[in-house]
Chain A
């Protein structure tokens, strides 16, 4: 696609429920990244994919968080048993290669609110 697409754009969920956030990267981009942006905070790295594998998942805050990528394209970030502190904007980005000189292209994010 022309850009990085994320869905849904907004999600309100009840505490304890599971949620899935989707990211559709730019076609041909092999690297995909998930970041979290909480109110008043910078961007917090969650996980990075190269193809379908995740060489770095060090930023996932707990075992309630998981992510997968299939076909070297779409990625899903799943949060199980959501908590209020999970409320944030979840940003996805992709790049042509996993090299910083290509830069990231970000999606518009999914705003998650846990009530």
Chain B
């Protein structure tokens, strides 16, 4: 069965420090992978996606993620966190052909300390 694991429920990072949010997936084929961000009271916004090719993908707001097939991981990174990055982050996986629903992780809440 498809599943996504985000092992960290909460993470606190100092402003200006680097960030890595973990995502591991279980999927029977080469998946499409996504990171979404949800600010309080808002819908989800797509940060970046991986379909194929270069395993390091760049997204909006200075985020990047690296697909590691051998580790079934798609970790999200940012070199220097800003206070406005405080939000909840969701990793999602879906098939690379046709439609099937995206499967989401339970999210990681990022807190940014001064």
Contacts of A91 in B (CB 8 A): 43-44
Contacts of A106 in B (CB 8 A): 36, 43-45
Interface size on B, residues (CB 8 A): 27
Contacts of B42 in A (CB 8 A): 108
Task: Give the interface size bracket for A toward B.
Answer: 20 to 34
Tell me if A1 is interfacial: C-beta within 8 Å of chain B: no
Among B59-114, those with CB < 8 Å from A are: 90, 92, 94-96, 98-107
A40 vs B4: C-alpha distance in the bound complex, in angstroms?
15
Contacts of A4 in B (CB 8 A): 43
Tell me if A25 is interfacial: C-beta within 8 Å of chain B: no
Tell me if B25 is interfacial: C-beta within 8 Å of chain A: no
| Identity of the chain A residue whose Cβ is nearest the Cβ of B97 in the assembled complex | A99
Tell me if A70 is interfacial: C-beta within 8 Å of chain B: no
Tell me if B41 is interfacial: C-beta within 8 Å of chain A: yes
User: Provided the pairs A31-B99, A40-B106, A56-B101 are in contact, do residues A103 and B46 lie with their beta carbons within 8 angstroms?
Assistant: yes
Contacts of A108 in B (CB 8 A): 41-43
Do A43 and B90 have beta carbons less than 8 Å apart? yes
Please give the residue numbers on chain B whose beta carbons come within 8 Å of chain A beta carbons, in ascending order.
Answer: 4, 32, 34, 36, 41-46, 49, 51, 90, 92, 94-96, 98-107
Please give the residue numbers on chain A whose beta carbons come within 8 Å of chain B beta carbons, in ascending order.
Answer: 4, 31, 33, 35, 40-43, 45, 48, 50, 55-56, 59, 91, 93, 98-101, 103-109
Q: Which 10 A-B pairs have the closest CB atoms?
A: A98-B99, A106-B43, A43-B104, A42-B106, A100-B94, A45-B101, A106-B44, A42-B104, A108-B43, A100-B32
